Amino acid sequence: MDAPATLLYFDDEHDAALRLADAAGFTPAQVERHRFPDGELKLRLPDALPERVALLRTLDHPNEKLVELLLAARTARDLGARHLTLVAPYLAYMRQDIAFTPGEAVSQRIVGRFLADLFDALVTVDPHLHRVATLQEAAPVQEAIVLSGAPLLADLIAERRPGALLVGPDAESAQWIAQAAARHGFDDGVCTKVRHGDHAVDIELPPVAVAGRAVVLLDDVASTGRTVARAAALLLAAGAASVDVAVTHALFAGDALQVLREAGVGEIWSTDCIAHPTNAVSVAPLIAQALRDMTCIKETPVSTRASGRPLLY
Ligand code: R5P
């Protein structure tokens, strides 16, 4: 019988890894990490790996994690992994998908190709894809699976704020608003947004009546928090009874949470794609299902395979 698949993880994602391994039926194995005094990293993986391996690494604060992925993925191959999946519930560097001014690095394409060189498959949640249609265009792996946290958050909102008015803070959020509204019949609306800089956004409310309503702002990610904070302030000024916030990815950089509170936001709910005190729903069952459904086809050269067939799990 084939050895059970292994889920590699790093110590700072221990809890999320155990939830996922348990739900997916993978054997969890922690990657040991040593930091040398000069900042370099040394990793140690289990000394033998099964053919199927997944690596959990959510990519908030991504810069050092990309080096970890490089070292871990290459080592996993050396130790026996034939099919390697990256599970990155939050996928970084997806926003810079074109050169907005000449000379800018198109980070999405560069990081996407970097990951595709290391991994056969990629599983992520609500990646920030605006000007490309599919995740595979951004990260050309053999199997790219996009999941969404919106239905989970919609279920939570329906439970905590039945009859809420669901508002998306910008045009990109319309997809999640539509999904959530269809699922629970929420009234909904989508704002328009113009971003002037990292911390400066202008927002215009949608033409829906907000007076006296319990409003929930739903978005894929809050980073500086300025987008949802500005929308919340406008909604409250327009007479909303309350404004809560639900996001898939709780980046909440710098003073984001304080800015949200100062804007009058009540509850803040997020998925556990990024571990954060606001986590209210878990994506582990969703990702586990995706791992179970994965076809795991790896077209290795015929000369390296005993059977001459693609590797299938
Ligand atoms: C933009 O399209 C995204 O969906 C978010 O609205 C945006 O990234 C949030 O950024 P911030 O929290 O920094 O305003």
Residue 66 falls inside a structural domain: yes
154 and 276, same domain (yes or no): yes
34 and 137, same domain (yes or no): yes
131 and 165, same domain (yes or no): no
101 and 50, same domain (yes or no): yes
Confirm whether pTM is higher than 0.85.
Answer: yes
Token code pair at residue 295: 């076809």
Confidence of residue 310 (pLDDT cuts 50, 70, 90): very low
130 and 182, same domain (yes or no): no
Predicted local confidence at residue 276, as pLDDT: 98
Confidence check: pLDDT of 108 > 90: yes
Confidence check: pLDDT of 172 > 80: yes
94 and 34, same domain (yes or no): yes
257 CA to centre of ligand 1 in angstroms: 14
- Phi-psi region at 126: left, alpha or beta (left = phi > 0; alpha = psi -120 to 50): left
Q: Position 283: which residue type?
A: V
263 and 308, same domain (yes or no): no
Q: Let me know: does 191 contact 170? Beta carbons within 8 Å.
A: yes
30 and 144, same domain (yes or no): yes
193: annotated active-site residue = yes
Count of domains forming the chain: 2
Confidence of residue 296 (pLDDT cuts 50, 70, 90): confident
Q: What is the mean pLDDT of the chain?
A: 94
Residue 52 falls inside a structural domain: yes
161 and 266, same domain (yes or no): yes
- Which ligand 1 atom sits nearest the alpha carbon of residue 230? 14
Confidence check: pLDDT of 299 > 70: no
Token code pair at residue 82: 């034939």
Confidence check: pLDDT of 142 > 60: yes
164 and 242, same domain (yes or no): yes
3-state SS, residue 171:
helix
Backbone angles phi, psi at 299, to 5 degrees: -85, 85
Average pLDDT of the residues in 36-63: 97
3-state SS, residue 1:
coil
199 CA to centre of ligand 1 in angstroms: 10
142 and 159, same domain (yes or no): no
Q: Print the domain residue range for 220.
A: 150-281
Q: For a pocket test of ligand 1, which of 221, 226, 249 has the largest count of ligand atoms closer than 8 A to its C-beta?
A: 221
Confidence check: pLDDT of 235 > 50: yes
Confidence check: pLDDT of 298 > 60: no
3-state SS, residue 114:
helix
Confidence of residue 297 (pLDDT cuts 50, 70, 90): low
27 and 130, same domain (yes or no): yes
Ligand 1: residues whose CB is within 6 Å? 169-170, 172-173, 201, 219-227
**Distance (Å, whole) CA 224 – CA 198:** 7
CATH number at residue 219: 3.40.50.2020
Q: What is the largest CA-CA distance in the chain?
A: 69
Residue 1 falls inside a structural domain: no
- Tens of pLDDT, residues 194-204: 999 999 999 99
